[in-house]
Chain A
Amino acid sequence: MSVLPDAERLCAQLIAELKPLVGPNSAMIGLYTGGVWLAERLHAGLALSAPLGTMDIAFYRDDYHKQGLARDPKRTQIPFPVEGRDLLLVDDVLFTGRTVRAAMNELFDYGRPARISLVVLADRGGRELPICAQHCGAKVEVPADMRLRLRRGDDGELKLELERAE
């Protein structure tokens, strides 16, 4: 199995990539939980003027009828008007694309953004929906029975980890 890329390095690389592209109309939303950690770093690195938004897509998931409501969903907080914004939607790992689909549906209940770009730390393939990331730290090959996820240490350091899928 190949070595996982360094999350801190990917984070710095994404900031450098996004810096020339953001402007006064840009705003950022992180998806719980890993996406929020990453977004906090990107948001600070890019010095965006609009405060960071956070989103939990629990009420928009497409597997509710099978899985029920996710336990203890967080409150979505978008502290800026979405209407007409240039939005950066941030998640840690892109896999099936279902989370991003749910997030876009929720976003449109807040308003009509001018544009949504997807920013992810890692893309592990396996898409089940026609969704792709505009900004991706790295492509990572992950065995089908494993889960790739972002961890945050007590010191705030971000790290990609593999664990067995449940």
Chain B
Amino acid sequence: MQSNPQLNANGELRHLLSIEGLPRDVLGSILDTAASFVGVTEREVKKVPILRGKSVFNLFFEPSTRTRTTFEIAAKRLSADVINLNIAVSSQTKGESLLDTVANLSAMQADLFVVRHGSSGAPYLIAQHVKPHEHVINAGDGRHAHPTQGLLDLYTIRHYKQDFSRLSVAIVGDVLHSRVARSLIHGLTTLGTPEVRVIGPQTLLPTGVESLGVRVFHDMREGLRGVDVVVMLRLQSERMRGALLPSAQEFFKHYGLTAEKLALAKPDAIVMHPGPMNRGVEIDSSVADGPHSVILPQVTFGIAVRMAVMSMVAGK
């Protein structure tokens, strides 16, 4: 078996590139560590000294406000120095290669690179070329993975439902373009979730999605019946080329989450969404703001999860 580029010789987390391939005990350890950081984020002084003197470079080759901001907050709460680089509008447009950009930042004494890139695999490429004391966290690469979002989803589910071993989780909507869905499916199956369902039109589900160990539903009502957790995905209209869908209204009619459809899930079901939400496209406002929604706690937990990942990799 090929060695896992995310782990060091002792099996400890050195980079976070994907949830796929992370052993169950490492996943559990990240979630446990995040729980301790939730305690820090609830204090008056929301800062610990652990990454004092370390430099975290946020390399965003693709625009993102929420993810970049939460990584920035997480790094600052760990006392690191944070440098935000919006590369979409910087040297890459002048023709510099990805690895040249990284080599230059490395010469500025970087310790940790947080990378968001439109191409799948870009964070892997960087991880292969960084120095031993440098670390890479994937903040979303193409359609491939968004591991910290997947981890914060797992954290949120564990927070509200405690145990994965009896859960039924439905992931609804544009699975095809969603790196979040892929990361979450891998995490849920690794942690022993017996039932993971994906619900969406054939055109928005990747071919062979069943091989990830999920049940596929095209009828949303049927798919939501009896589930404990509903994860709504954003309809990524900016990634769509060609006619995958008739219209947003048509999508909402079939795959938008309304109170009436949610009533088919368990009475204590939780509703999640990675954001940013399209109200009236994939989720009705009354559900997004309703009693089942844990969408805003997800954002808060996301900071603690990113603190956990950063502090775990940067020490190895």
Q: How many residues of A contact B (CB 8 A)?
A: 22
Cα separation A14 to B151 with both chains bound (whole Å): 45
Report the stretch among A2-10, A72-80, A134-142 that lies at the interface: A72-80
Question: Is A73 within 8 A of B12, CB to CB?
Answer: no
Report the stretch among B30-38, B234-242, B251-259, B289-297 that lies at the interface: B30-38
Report the stretch among A60-68, A84-92, A158-166 that lies at the interface: A60-68
Q: How many residues of B contact A (CB 8 A)?
A: 21
Verify if B246 is at the interface (C-beta below 8 Å from A).
no
Cα separation A65 to B143 with both chains bound (whole Å): 35
Verify if A128 is at the interface (C-beta below 8 Å from B).
no
Select the residue from B37, B49, B311, B316 with max chain A CB neighbours within 10 A. B49
- Given A65-B315, A68-B12, A69-B312, A60-B39 contact (CB < 8 Å): no
- Given A59-B49, A60-B48, A109-B47, A68-B36 contact (CB < 8 Å): no
Question: Is A69 within 8 A of B43, CB to CB?
Answer: no
- Given A64-B50, A67-B315, A59-B40 contact (CB < 8 Å): yes
Cα separation A73 to B35 with both chains bound (whole Å): 9
Considering only residues 79-120 of chain A, those with a C-beta below 8 Å from chain B are 105-106, 109-111
User: Contacting A64 at CB < 8 Å: which of B29, B44, B45, B315?
Assistant: B315
A84 to chain B, nearest CB (A): 14
Verify if A123 is at the interface (C-beta below 8 Å from B).
no
User: Contacting B33 at CB < 8 Å: which of A69, A77, A109, A110?
Assistant: A69
Question: Is A105 within 8 A of B29, CB to CB?
Answer: no
Question: Is A110 within 8 A of B29, CB to CB?
Answer: no
Cα separation A58 to B35 with both chains bound (whole Å): 13
Question: Is B311 within 8 A of A59, CB to CB?
Answer: yes
Contacts of B315 in A (CB 8 A): 64-65, 67-69
A68 to chain B, nearest CB (A): 3
Question: Is B38 within 8 A of A59, CB to CB?
Answer: no
Considering only residues 19-60 of chain B, those with a C-beta below 8 Å from chain A are 29, 32-33, 35-40, 43-45, 47-50
Closest to A58 in B: B36
Select the residue from B33, B38, B45 with max chain A CB neighbours within 10 A. B33
Cα separation A75 to B48 with both chains bound (whole Å): 13
Question: Is B44 within 8 A of A69, CB to CB?
Answer: no
Contacts of B48 in A (CB 8 A): 59-60, 106, 109
Closest to A102 in B: B49
Question: Is A110 within 8 A of B44, CB to CB?
Answer: yes
User: Contacting A109 at CB < 8 Å: which of B43, B50, B312?
Assistant: B43
